[in-house]
Amino acid sequence: MSTYAVVDPTTGETVKEYAALSDDELAAKLDRADAAYRTWGRTSSAAERATLLRNAAVLFVERREVLATIISREMGKPTNQGVLEVDFAAAIFEYYADHAEEFLADEPVPLAWGEGTAVIRRQPLGILLGVMPWNYPYYQVARFAAPNLMAGNTILLKHASQCPESAAAIEQLLLDAGFPTGAYENVYATYAQIDAVIADPRVAGVSVTGSEKAGAMVAATAGRHLKKAVLELGGSDPFILLSTDDLDAAVEAALGARFYDNAGQACNGAKRYIVIEELYDAFLEKVVSTLAELKPGAPAAENTVLGPVSSVGAAEGLEKLLNRAIEGGARVALGGTRDGSFFDPTVLVDIDPGNQAAKEEFFGPFAHVYRVSSEEEAIAVANDTPFGLGSYVFTTDPEQAQRIADRIEAGMVYVNVVGAEEPGLPFGGVKLSGFGRELGRFGAEEFVNRKLIRVGA
């Protein structure tokens, strides 16, 4: 039986199974990707590739309803949120279309010694492998694929085993946009096959978005074969609230950074609310009263905000984490119950630093709320995690905001704003959240050969 299957998380029904690739089929895809790199990737211009990226952006928008319905079946995302995800993927493709010639232009290097010229020319590396997760099936792929197709790299994409339908839809969309066969190959591969792909000398690098366990496994293989890797892994992002002129707005921002998108299944969601003691009681009361009205609903319903988590197995895993947190002394201020793959919004308090829950990522509609007495304590609690992806700081003191932003151990800090991601802003983390960046110019620089060309007088 194939491990690639669409299993509706709301019912547990297996909608469709997809055959895994044989070794010969995978080898053929590698051959096509290599051929496309050596022809299209090395001979097409930045402007020509930009046209294809723009075509893809148009198709994402045109197919947004169909694409959103697919991922609703696969991983339970409310279709209204799925449409927004598709639109974001379209915006990423459009961004790299708009900036292709700028990002890939020769960059002169001033000479201190000698006569002549020196330039940096950005060229593709070859075939890249992407290992992508289920929580944002289009957005995650767009972050990896768009800048690398812009550069002329070709792509083998192993999507999550529960996202085979959306994986096939992306491949078809890019073919329909005009990309040649081999430029982007969807692969229903096993992890054993992935190791063989990374070992292939034609494969230049690998990008992984997923758990730290998956990232470590793939990075270890990449390291053995001296292949470049980019890792976008887990997160336990802090939401620090030290002062506000509008507590209701601050609470809405906190909930928006966690509960109002994808059932809390976002690596950069605000998972830990760290609140100054003067605001703590009122903040917690408003969070609990607001979330008490938020009930899980069917993904296809027009007004659903909170859908199921991605599977019954994922919900059971959350339940185990919750029970362990309670055994460690945490208290449930709200929620804590599930029905199949539907989990009620859950708020945990009184989490001791020694409680294992303080160091774990709860990937679902959960929030941990911490009381702190000072800016220093807020920073200490925020950094007391093995992860370092994103963070949020809310304060009315601009100087305080800058102090905290400087000291937070994270790849991203958002001050007095949530939901402010965009294609031009780099995305990535430190510590167990991985390394490397996606999006913006930094994302475009990860898998290119910055070749020096020095010409004498």
**CA 142, CA 191: separation in Å to the nearest integer?**
22
Query: d(Cα 372, Cα 279) in Å, to the nearest integer?
Result: 10
Q: In what order do the strands lie in the sheet with 107-108?
A: 107-108, 117-124, 448-455
Distance CA 42, CA 126 (A): 9
Residue 33 φ then ψ, to 5°: -65, -40
Q: Quick check: is 232 catalytic?
A: yes
Residue 163 annotated among the catalytic residues of the structure: no
**Residue 349 neighbours by CB distance under 10 Å:** 18
Which of 74, 85, 185, 232 does the annotation list as catalytic? Answer: 232
Q: Contact 176/59 with Cβ under 8 angstroms? A: yes
Contacts of 295 (CB under 8 A, 6+ apart): 306, 344
Does residue 318 come out as left (phi exceeding 0), alpha (psi in the -120 to 50 range) or beta?
Answer: alpha
22, burial (CB in 10 Å: exposed 0-12, middle 13-18, buried 19+)? exposed
- Measured distance CA(141)–CA(62) in Å, rounded: 18
Tell me how far apart the alpha carbons of residues 363 and 271 are, in angstroms, rounded to a whole number. 9
Give the contacts of 93 (CB within 8 A, at least 6 positions apart).
Answer: 53, 54, 56, 57, 60, 142, 146
DSSP per position, 163-221: -HHHHHHHHHHHHHTTPPTTSEEE----HHHHHHHHHSTTEEEEEEES-HHHHHHHHHH
Q: Which 3 state secondary structure label does DSSP give 3?
A: coil
Catalytic residue among 267, 360, 361, 446: 267
- Give me the active site residues, please: 232, 267
